[in-house]
């Protein structure tokens, strides 16, 4: 049986503004055109990824987001954590989530 695997990397280097943040997420993660460019829409699209057997998500140069939009950055990290534990950890092993800041990668557990 062939596994369905998805790998996504979102690079926030030279982030311009808030809409650029969500545009990069949308484009890099191949979200649908109707993606709403907000945290609720991010959650909806992230949870749609449970259709895959295994998903790797990497947010690179995330320090840029944290510097420009600290509250949004914290909420995004919280959503990534919640994604790993969705439905009482039923999908914990489906998602591998990494956040890189200043060249240091941290796995969201």
Which among 74, 31, 73, 75 has a CA at the least distance from the CA of 49? 31
- Name the CA dihedral angle for 46, 47, 51, 56, rounded to a multiple of 10 degrees: 40
- Residue 99 pairs in a beta bridge with 59, 106
CA distance 3 to 1: 6
- Interval 58-74: pLDDT, tens: 999 999 999 999 999 99
Kindly list the structural domains of the chain, giving each domain's residue range(s) and its CATH number in brackets, ordered by start. Answer: 5-108 (3.30.370.10)
Bridging pattern class, strands 104-108 and 95-101: antiparallel
In this structure, what DSSP letter does residue 44 have? H
- Interval 36-94: pLDDT, tens: 999 999 999 998 988 888 999 999 999 999 999 999 999 999 999 998 887 666 666 78
């Amino acid at each position: 049986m062939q596994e369905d695997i998805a790998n996504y990397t979102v690079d926030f280097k030279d982030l311009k503004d808030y809409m650029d943040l969500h545009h990069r997420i949308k484009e890099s993660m191949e979200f649908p055109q109707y993606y709403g460019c907000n945290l609720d829409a991010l959650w909806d699209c992230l949870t749609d990824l449970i259709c895959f057997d295994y998903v790797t998500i990497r947010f690179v140069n995330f320090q840029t987001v944290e510097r420009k939009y600290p509250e949004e950055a914290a909420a995004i990290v919280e959503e990534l954590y919640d994604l790993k534990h969705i439905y009482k950890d039923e999908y914990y092993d489906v998602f591998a989530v990494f956040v890189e800041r200043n060249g240091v990668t941290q796995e969201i557990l």
